[in-house]
Amino acid sequence: MEHKLTLYNTLTRKKELFVPLHSPNVGMYVCGPTVYGDAHLGHARPAITFDLLFRYLLHLGYKVRYVRNITDVGHLENDADSGEDKVAKKARLEQLEPMEVVQYYLNRYHQNMAALNVLSPSIEPQASGHIIEQIEFVQKILDAGFAYESEGSVYFDVEKYNRSHHYGKLSGRNIDELLETTRHLDGQSEKHRSVDFALWKKASPEHIMRWKSPWSEGFPGWHLECSAMGTKYLGEEFDIHGGGMDLIFPHHECEIAQSTAALGKETVHYWVHNNMITINGQKMGKSLGNFITLDEFFTGHHKLLDKAYSPMTIRFFILQAQYRSTIDFSNEALQAAEKGLQRLTEAYERLQKLQAAVETQGIASLQIADLRAKCEEAMQDDLNSPMVIAHLFDAAKAINTVHDGNGTISANDLAELKDTFKLFFEDILGLQTEEQAGSSNDAYKGAVDLLLQIRQQSKVNKDWATADKIRNELAALGFEIKDGKDHVEWSLK
């Protein structure tokens, strides 16, 4: 396949040309959410980042098997080896069956993803449905001699592994230092060293989610599910493994150690990580009170939000930054993104109505011919979405010039511009105009149009009271109504 797509590989710390193992097939695994609460902004960024990569790989002609897991067991509080399971804790507090909690939040997660126009992955495996595979994986690590059993639990022996392999290669953490500071644990805990991590945990009597295993009735460690499910669906070696940067250590570092220990080889070729999101310069956290869920963004119901922001505004805002740079959310920045998206959407809608002329004048014809190549080049440079957006803004300028009567466009240029704009705006960036964003939107537009028709009729009938009432009530709801010569335009402020 002819392309020059480069991706920054966290493991080698450089941009590399993307060459899949079994072209045209590509295997991609992305760590999905732990479903014990509503999805927030932190979930939107990896979902959109890897949706962008998924869409672009499909555009290049690859057949992509995209696996995004759902964590529903084994993820303990503070991402640690002890403490309550996040899902089980929620179930206890809400007096629900753990799988009720999982289903409830999974449904809501899917609704949020659909609103953000994130494509569904090819496979969405749940950890609780893959206990057998995880037990088998633990057994392989034990057989290879890189794990030990202790009081019904099984731990990964980091020090032993590090003698023949490099624990810390992904995160760059200094394992000698880690070992040095943890050597005194011996004999005081089930674990030989605190740096060791759980592959299987024996369940305490009050622990709800438990399965039989050769070692104890218990549950798998959090890192294990991704090694087990990734290799089950994508093979012992596959192309891309992604997630947020916060997962590099310990989660992905442990995954590398587990897979290498069990299979005797490196499983993942390209490790891709998106950077984090801060809110008004602060890290997101429950204790900081700035944990804004996606639903709260969509409705505006949060004390830190001035107003509601549409899912497309959130998507556009995230795509305005390259995935490896940080993003800081603020009302100001979101409102700027909203305006920017509006400008692009308006130009895209105008583009559909432009009439072709004999030749292109007043706008640079060359720019149209180059637009596609420039956008491709930006995408191939480690998914430089902000650069693609900048090129689309240039195109929007040209569209507006023709729309305002200050230029003309030839049939060929118009066809090329329509094609390129659709490809990058809709198919690759995954943006939608308001009309495309859903039928409920159509229904509401239809209702406003209907009210305005009744108002027109009232004017014809000289029923000024009704006409004024409709206008004033719509204005109070935030609609701006402009009476033209022969038609009425409206927009939502």
Cβ at position 67, least distance to Zn ion in Å: 10
Contact 147, 138 (CB under 8 A): yes
What are phi and psi for residue 128, nearest 5 degrees? Answer: -65, -20
Q: Which is nearer to Zn ion, 74 or 218 (CB)?
A: 74
The 3-state DSSP class for residue 36 equals coil
Cβ at position 468, least distance to Zn ion in Å: 59
The verdict on 30 binding Zn ion (CB under 5 A) reads no
The verdict on 35 binding Zn ion (CB under 5 A) reads no
Q: Which is nearer to Zn ion, 232 or 397 (CB)?
A: 232
DSSP H/E element including 130:
none
Residue 105: which residues within 8 A CB-CB, separation 6 or more? 35, 36, 37, 38
Task: Label the pairing between strands 238-244 and 268-274.
Answer: parallel
What are phi and psi for residue 175, nearest 5 degrees? Answer: -70, -35
Choose the binding region for Zn ion from 28-36, 272-280, 359-367, 394-402 (rule: CB under 5 A): 28-36
Cβ at position 75, least distance to Zn ion in Å: 9
Choose the binding region for Zn ion from 24-32, 119-127, 362-370, 446-454 (rule: CB under 5 A): 24-32
The verdict on 256 binding Zn ion (CB under 5 A) reads no
Q: Which is nearer to Zn ion, 228 or 417 (CB)?
A: 228
Cβ at position 256, least distance to Zn ion in Å: 12
Show contacts with Zn ion in window 451-470 (CB under 5 A).
Answer: none
Q: Which is nearer to Zn ion, 55 or 223 (CB)?
A: 223
Contact 226, 148 (CB under 8 A): no
Cβ at position 101, least distance to Zn ion in Å: 20
Q: Which is nearer to Zn ion, 31 or 228 (CB)?
A: 31
Helices 222-234 and 253-263 meet at what angle, rounded to 10?
60
How many residues contact Zn ion, by CB under 5 A?
2
DSSP H/E element including 236:
none
Cβ at position 243, least distance to Zn ion in Å: 6
Query: Token digits for 125?
Result: 């495996």
Choose the binding region for Zn ion from 25-33, 97-105, 319-327, 382-390 (rule: CB under 5 A): 25-33
Q: Which of 288, 305, 287, 285 is nearest to 296 (CA)?
A: 305
Cβ at position 24, least distance to Zn ion in Å: 26
DSSP H/E element including 154:
strand 153-156
The verdict on 73 binding Zn ion (CB under 5 A) reads no
The residue assigned the tokens 């909690």 is 101
The verdict on 398 binding Zn ion (CB under 5 A) reads no
The verdict on 254 binding Zn ion (CB under 5 A) reads no
Cβ at position 244, least distance to Zn ion in Å: 10
Q: Which is nearer to Zn ion, 31 or 279 (CB)?
A: 31
| Strand order across the beta sheet in which 63-68 lies | 63-68, 25-30, 238-244, 268-274
From residue 324, alpha-carbon distances to 244, 327, 383 in Å are: 10, 9, 10
Choose the binding region for Zn ion from 130-138, 220-228, 303-311, 363-371 (rule: CB under 5 A): 220-228
Q: Which is nearer to Zn ion, 51 or 338 (CB)?
A: 51
Cβ at position 184, least distance to Zn ion in Å: 30
The verdict on 141 binding Zn ion (CB under 5 A) reads no
The verdict on 209 binding Zn ion (CB under 5 A) reads no
The verdict on 195 binding Zn ion (CB under 5 A) reads no
Helices 411-421 and 365-380 meet at what angle, rounded to 10?
20
The strand pairing partners of 220, in sequence order, are: 200
Q: Which is nearer to Zn ion, 197 or 421 (CB)?
A: 197
- DSSP class of 425: I
Task: Label the pairing between strands 479-483 and 488-492.
Answer: antiparallel
Q: Cα 387 to the chain's mean position, in Å?
A: 19
Query: Token digits for 395?
Result: 């195109």
- DSSP class of 285: -
Q: Which of 3, 124, 7, 121 is nearest to 59 (CA)?
A: 3
Q: Which is nearer to Zn ion, 259 or 322 (CB)?
A: 259
Q: Which is nearer to Zn ion, 259 or 458 (CB)?
A: 259
The one among 118, 131, 226, 363 contacting Zn ion by CB under 5 A:
226
The verdict on 31 binding Zn ion (CB under 5 A) reads yes
Choose the binding region for Zn ion from 59-67, 189-197, 224-232, 319-327 (rule: CB under 5 A): 224-232
Cβ at position 225, least distance to Zn ion in Å: 7
Write the DSSP string, 164-213: HS-TTTTT---HHHHHHHHGGGTTSSSSSSTT-EEEEEEPPTT--S-B--
Q: Which is nearer to Zn ion, 11 or 319 (CB)?
A: 11
Residues within the interface to Zn ion (CB under 5 A): 31, 226
